[in-house]
Each structure stands twice: as structure tokens, then as C-alpha cells.
């Protein structure tokens, strides 16, 4: 393509599914890679000479280098200049990332400070009762209630709703995001486009989890979602945390001192692949590891708990 700016933009679009409408060479751009309000996880810089550029997405952990010419046809001087520009842009990107994480840290702290512990009869406990956890008390202290959390869909505020809020905590103990489940006052799922959402990240999400429980006697369990982790805990008595998604289950970093890991996998392809990845990592680190999967395809342990299928875990 004769227009290098348009060629660079199309490369971004092909990789991320989103790209800025206008790209100014020499300028570091931020742009949305989702429909979230205020999303600017995408980033790019087209170099001044328009021969190369870098782009990626903070949220997805993507970082790519683009060149207008085949690198094999470049001279040594051209390759060196491209490498210099990439290095400078990388430093600029990392500065931008640190600033974004700092801003998100403040937002997370403000929302968490507005949350209160659960009490019987509040929207969160009513919601969990409807999911099969009536009579389960006390619930993990990591679960909290926000009485009126704004819901944004793109640039439009759809209202304020009660929400079950839980911290996503990194292996070093820092809260890197909040998981939000939007509800009605009587404990049903709110009528919003996406009931469950994450805040903007305040650090890398890979390896983090929702710490519903602490290890006991060197043993910890993990599943994907909050309700699935609660069900696994109720059915097996294994203290269980929530990875919040299959990809993060595969990347999860267990706490120091854990000797035994029980993976409560979802009975679908993504869940099985994630469990297999985590199992291989844990076995390689010398942990005793088991993968438990519901017998019915397409279900998870919350479904099994609703049917009151106990999970047998050897002592």
C-alpha cells in the first residue's frame, strides 16, 4: 500500500480489532480496544520517518513492531535505526503504562472504600442464595456490597445498581482490579448489557485471582468464577479461590508454601485446556495436583452444586 500511515493502521486493526481513526507520525496515541467507557488500553506510535512503528494493548498484554519494508531487505543502518526507535517507543509506552496503573489504583481504592461487608438479606446474599448458597454463612470477606455502583455502557450511564464487588489480587498482594456483578435490590442480575465486569487494571492481571480463601494445611483449590469457587468449596471443603476466567486460571500463581493444588475445571474445551496448562506448571514445580471436572459436558461446579453432587477429595 502506498500510504504508510494507512498501512500501519490496517496492521493495528488486523491484530487488535480496533485502531485510531487518525494517526499522526511521531505521536504516541492511546485508543479504545473495547466498548468500555473511558477505555484507552490500545496504544501505538508511527515513527517520524513512517518506515516503522509499534502498537499493542495494555489490557491484553499485546506488543507488536511494524515495518513498512521487509526487514530482510533493510541495510544494517536501517535495522539499527528501527531498533533505536522501537527502544525509545518502548520506554515511552512503559511510562504511559505506569501512569495508567497509578490512575486506576486510585479509582479502585475509591470504589473499594465505598463497599461494605455482606449481611444476610442484602442484594449480594440474596443473589448468592438464588445461586444455591442459601444458608452458607459466613461468606468470604473478599466479597463486598456496593449499594449504588454506576454502570457505564460506552459513554452512556445506564444507572446505579447494587453490586457484588471482589478484589483481584496479584501474587505479591496488590489489588490489580475489581470484579463487579451488577444486581437488583432483590438479588437478581441487573438488566444491563454485561452483568459481570472488571475495572481497569492497576497492574498485570496474569497470575492474579480473587482470594476467597487462604490455603489450609498446604492445600488450595482454584476454579474460574466466584460462584464456581464457592460451589467447589461447599461441596469439597477445599479452600478455593477464583481465577475469574479460563485464561487467568492457566496463568495463576499459587501462594508460597502450597504443596497441593486442586483444580476445579469447567467441563468445556477452554476450561479443560486451562486446567491442563495449570496442572503441567504445578506438577513441574513439584506440587501434588488434581483436576476435577463435572461429568456433564458444558457444566461447571456451580451447576454440580445446584444438583448437590458432592466432590470427593482424598484427605
- What are the chain's domains? 4-109 (no CATH), 116-204 (no CATH), 206-315 (3.40.1360.10)
| 3-class SS of residue 314 | coil
For the beta carbon of residue 270, count every other beta carbon within 10 angstroms. 15
Measured torsion, CA atoms of residues 236, 240, 244, 245, in degrees rounded to the nearest 10: -60
Half-sphere CA count of 146, side-chain side, radius 13 A: 24
In sequence order, what are the beta bridge partners of 30? 43
Given a cut of 70, whether residue 12 has pLDDT beyond it is yes
Return the higher-pLDDT residue of 75 and 210.
210
Q: What's the whole-model pTM score?
A: 0.78
Phi, psi for 203 (deg, rounded to 5)? 165, 175
Average pLDDT score over residue span 46-72: 87
Reading the block at residue 257, the C-alpha cell is 508454601
Q: For residue 1, is pLDDT > 50?
A: no
**What value does the mean pLDDT of the chain take?**
91
Angle at 250 between CA 245 and CA 255, to 5 degrees: 100
- pLDDT for 237 equals 93
Q: Is the pLDDT of residue 150 over 60?
A: yes
Quick check: helix, strand or coil at residue 211? coil
Amino acid at each position: 500500500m502506498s500510504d504508510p500511515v494507512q498501512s500501519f493502521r490496517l496492521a493495528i486493526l488486523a491484530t487488535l480489532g480496533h485502531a485510531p481513526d487518525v494517526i499522526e507520525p511521531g505521536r504516541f496515541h492511546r485508543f479504545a480496544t473495547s466498548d468500555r467507557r473511558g477505555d484507552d488500553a490500545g496504544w501505538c506510535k508511527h515513527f517520524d520517518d513512517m518506515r516503522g512503528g509499534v502498537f499493542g494493548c495494555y489490557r491484553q498484554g499485546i506488543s507488536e513492531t511494524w515495518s513498512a519494508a521487509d526487514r530482510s531487505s533493510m541495510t544494517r543502518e536501517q535495522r539499527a535505526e528501527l531498533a533505536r526507535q522501537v527502544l525509545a517507543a518502548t520506554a515511552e509506552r512503559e511510562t504511559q503504562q505506569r501512569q495508567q496503573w497509578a490512575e486506576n489504583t486510585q479509582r479502585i481504592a475509591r470504589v473499594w472504600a465505598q463497599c461494605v461487608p455482606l449481611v444476610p438479606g442484602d442484594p449480594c446474599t440474596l443473589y448468592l442464595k438464588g445461586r444455591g448458597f442459601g444458608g452458607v454463612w459466613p461468606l468470604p470477606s473478599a466479597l463486598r456490597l456496593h449499594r449504588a455502583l454506576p454502570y457505564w455502557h460506552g459513554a452512556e450511564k445506564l444507572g446505579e445498581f447494587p453490586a457484588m464487588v471482589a478484589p483481584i489480587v496479584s501474587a505479591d498482594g496488590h489489588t490489580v482490579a475489581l470484579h463487579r456483578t451488577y444486581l437488583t435490590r432483590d438479588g437478581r442480575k441487573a438488566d444491563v448489557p454485561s452483568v459481570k465486569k472488571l475495572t481497569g487494571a492497576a497492574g498485570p492481571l496474569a497470575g492474579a485471582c480473587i482470594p476467597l480463601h487462604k490455603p489450609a494445611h498446604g492445600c488450595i483449590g482454584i476454579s474460574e468464577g466466584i460462584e464456581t469457587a464457592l460451589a467447589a468449596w461447599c461441596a469439597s471443603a477445599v479452600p478455593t479461590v477464583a481465577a475469574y476466567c479460563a485464561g487467568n486460571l492457566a496463568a495463576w500463581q499459587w501462594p508460597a508454601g502450597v504443596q497441593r493444588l486442586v483444580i476445579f475445571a469447567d467441563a468445556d474445551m477452554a476450561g479443560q485446556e486451562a486446567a491442563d496448562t495449570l496442572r503441567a506448571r504445578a506438577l513441574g514445580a513439584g506440587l501434588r495436583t488434581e483436576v476435577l471436572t463435572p461429568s456433564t459436558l458444558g457444566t461447571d461446579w456451580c451447576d454440580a452444586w445446584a444438583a448437590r453432587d458432592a466432590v470427593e477429595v482424598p484427605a
